[in-house]
Chain A
Amino acid sequence: MDQDSYRMLRENVDEFCTRNVEPLALRIEREGMPRDLSAKSGAQGFNTATADPASGGSGLDRESYLLILERTARSSPSFAMYLMLQNSIACRILGASGKSDIIREIASGNKTTTVDILSLNESSSSPGNITISDGKVTGTIRTVILPSSDYLIFQHQDALYLAKGNDGIEILPALGFRGLGLGNVSLKERPVEKIAESGGAALIQETIRNSGREVAAMALGMTGRSIDMAIDYSRVRKTFGRPLKDYEPVAFQLSGFKAQEEHLRTMVFFSTARDEYIKPLATDLARRATKVALQVHGGYGYLEDFGVEKFYRDSMTLSIYFGPSKSDMRVLSREVYGEESGVI
């Protein structure tokens, strides 16, 4: 992507966020994603940004999609996560399974899809307990992000299934991405469609592994916005008669984070470095930066009205949900050592 295209798309996404996401950011945290926001983002082509236009997608290139994730994460990480879940995870799996009809529904914003990704996370020991017979599923799928989705994709005995709706949700404590929620989804004699005969778990895992740069783009957005908020606050907040920005630890730390943010931006958008190199840097930076941003805000940072604490919660949650996982680090170690490493 050339600089002009980058700037134009960035302005376009920022304008969308200023009008449609920013005013709802607090409501998204408290009440979840409003349907009309998915419809508006669908009209912009964000919901299925990278999907094939023949299947109802927008056909944008990866850099444009990364930019959408970064800029939306600045306003609402929950909304950015929603886009990533629909695009990077659901649409890729649905596209590979020939489910163009559902991709079109996602594109319009009328329907949402979630994928059982967390039970496949290496740190999860709760895969759930389901049985499938005669094309019907019964049981519970645990720790589902956006559990209230219209469609749920999950793997069972290495095949991939699609269920429409659910029969109850047990809401779980959600540290981050509260706009999407987290829950155990119950299914009772619910009709399911097998969308892949085998390799279901591998397909989901590969899809997640191929989303490293997308995770980094979201981390970049959270880092950037939280540090910008802290910088703005440090200009106006006075202590001992001077603005916070006049104190070395504040100014130096925030400026240092700004420099690291720019470095990460270069890596995400303009470098050829592998995703495995970028993702650990990005999630680590987001966690460190959002923590300092909250601290600079003092007591006000602890209140959700100020909009900075969500970045602290969401950056930690992002690093738990999407790594870097041990398998990411094993790929990285294999590359560094030129052989299998870090196995004990």
Chain B
Amino acid sequence: MCRRRAGLLDGTGKGVREVDFDFTEDQVKFREKAREFAEREFTPELARMFDREEKYPDEIRKKAHAEKVIDYSDPWKVLIAIEELCRQDAGLGISATVPYFGEEVIMLFGSDHLKEKYLNPVNEGRSMMGLAVTEPGGGSDVAGLKTTARKEGKNYIINGAKMFITSGSIADFFVMLVRTSEEEKRHHGLSAFVVESGFPGFKANKLKGKLGVRATDTAELELNNVVVPEENLIGEEGKGFYYIMTFFNISRIFVAGQGIGIAQGAFDRAISILKRKGREYYEKEDIQFAIADMATQLQAARLITYKAASYLFNFKPDPTVTSMAKKYAAETAVFVAEKALEITGVDGISSDLERFYRDAKILEIWEGTSEVEKLIISRNIVKEAQ
């Protein structure tokens, strides 16, 4: 195993910190496997069809699971898989990796009973899960959510609504953040539960007409007197906000991975179109400058994502660097997709490249908008400086 260690100034006043994010041979081989899977399974025709029909590709999910493209035994492999799958197509790539979305909340804070009952089927590819936090009236303001859970005997009764829930109309259960106390301070009154989509009173309405990632399923959830057994409470009552924030510090790194994948995919396609157009076209300086800008930003996004990942995967997460990675990789995906269309013009816009432009934009919105990431970065830096 060849490893290179590098020290980078982290910019938060802590001086030089070590990072270690070179890949092992096993991980390099895994990247090749994930890329080969995506190239084989995510054909342009299939990607176009699922995008057009806004249909979840369940067969692809099953194949990805069967071929162990998502390997939770090594978080680097999860990040690598997300990158490589989104590089080929974000809609299909995210669909293949999303059945496990929210798993870390149960893994880190759930009881053995919950792990056995809910996580085992997910890890065996027999079931899908999702995370339900956002509500119709609030996205960024997580602590302001209004869905309630009222204790009645050995159950909780949940009422309210959730919005923009990934896999909302297809997942078997959700890790759901709800309000269990009105008296406690806003975030202290929140708790996390496992809520099955089969529970009476649960209804999902699929949202159609998304700008991008149209193969993924997104829904609005209605919760009308949904009875949830008390053993489905994750961890302790009133700690849900902290569990979800901990999860976001993990998931944002994987969203950054989506960003690198989309940016790389758009970049690959732009270069391929330019080469087809010929030297006379791509050797013009304005095209060369654009290529250099795209490649540089992509490289920087990859490095900051790996840096954030190396902290997290070594159990030393740094929320500031994580937010920087998520924000920068998301913006890079949008920037590279835009530039790719600019330099390829009519050829690019009438090709699959247009889908990358549509897919990229969601990354600046979900799992914390770029504005929320900026607030986290800024507040942490100022706090640490005091």
Contacts and interface: CB of A to CB of B under 8 A. Distances in A.
A313 B346 contact: no
A173 B352 contact: yes
Contacts of B361: 294, 302, 312
B139 A298 contact: yes
A344 B285 CA distance: 7
Interface in A102-143: 118-119, 121-126, 143
A175 B349 contact: yes
By size class, the interface of chain B is 35 or more
A240 B362 CA distance: 22
B198 interface: no
Contacts of A317: 349
Nearest to A323: B345
B163 A124 contact: no
A305 interface: yes
Interface in A212-256: 238-241, 249
B347 A124 contact: yes
A304 interface: yes
A338 interface: no
Most chain B Cβ neighbours within 10 Å, of A173, A313, A316, A319: A173
Contacts of A319: 342
A30 B366 CA distance: 25
Given A173-B352, A175-B358, A320-B341, A295 B365 contact: yes
Given A173-B355, A249-B371, A302 B338 contact: no
A303 interface: yes
Nearest to A242: B141
Interface string B265-307: 0000000000011100100110000000000000000000000
Contacts of A143: 346, 350
A227 to B, nearest CB: 17
Interface in A139-189: 143, 172-176, 182
A295 B276 CA distance: 35
A173 B211 contact: no
Contacts, number: 108
Given A123-B347, A238-B137, A304 B209 contact: yes
Nearest to A173: B354
Contacts of B347: 123-126
Given A295-B364, A344-B285, A122 B144 contact: no
A277 interface: no
A298 B345 CA distance: 28
Nearest to A240: B141
Nearest to A182: B350
Interface string B141-176: 100100000000000000000011000000000000
Interface string B112-151: 0000000000000000000000100111110010000000
Contact of B211 (A126, A287, A313, A321): A313
A122 B370 CA distance: 35
Interface string A303-329: 111000100110011011100000000
Given A241-B144, A295-B369, A299-B139, A320 B346 contact: yes
Interface in B331-384: 334, 338, 341-342, 344-352, 354-355, 357-358, 361-362, 364-366, 369-371
Contacts of A313: 211, 358
A189 B362 CA distance: 46
Contact of A305 (B144, B209, B358): B209
A125 B211 CA distance: 28
By size class, the interface of chain A is 35 or more
B139 A316 contact: no
A63 to B, nearest CB: 30
Contacts of B362: 302
Contacts of A172: 350
Nearest to A342: B286
Nearest to A297: B365
A312 B209 contact: no
A312 to B, nearest CB: 7
A47 B351 CA distance: 30
Contacts of B352: 173
A77 B349 CA distance: 17
Interface string A1-35: 00000000000000000000000000000100000
Contacts of B141: 239-241
Nearest to B211: A309
B210 A173 contact: no
B207 interface: yes
A170 to B, nearest CB: 11
Contacts of A239: 138-141, 144
Contacts of A122: 345
B97 to A, nearest CB: 19
Contacts of B209: 30, 303-305
Contacts of A294: 211, 361
Given A302-B211, A313-B358, A121 B345 contact: yes
B55 interface: no
A302 B210 contact: yes
Nearest to A303: B209
B75 to A, nearest CB: 27
B345 A299 contact: no
B33 interface: no
B43 to A, nearest CB: 15
A123 B350 contact: no
Contact of A316 (B338, B351, B355): B338
Contacts of B349: 175-176, 316-317, 320-321
Most chain A Cβ neighbours within 10 Å, of B48, B144, B352: B144
Given A126-B346, A240-B144, 5 more contacts: A298-B139, A303-B207, A309-B211, A317-B349, A320-B345
Q: Please list the 4 inter-chain residue pairs (A to B) with the smallest Cβ-Cβ separation, ordered nearest first.
A: A123-B345, A304-B209, A175-B354, A124-B346
28 contacts: A121-B345, A122-B345, A123-B347, A124-B346, A126-B347, A173-B48, A173-B351, A174-B350, A175-B354, A175-B357, A240-B144, A241-B144, A291-B334, A295-B365, A295-B369, A298-B139, A298-B369, A299-B163, A302-B210, A302-B212, A302-B365, A309-B211, A313-B211, A313-B358, A316-B338, A316-B357, A320-B342, A320-B345
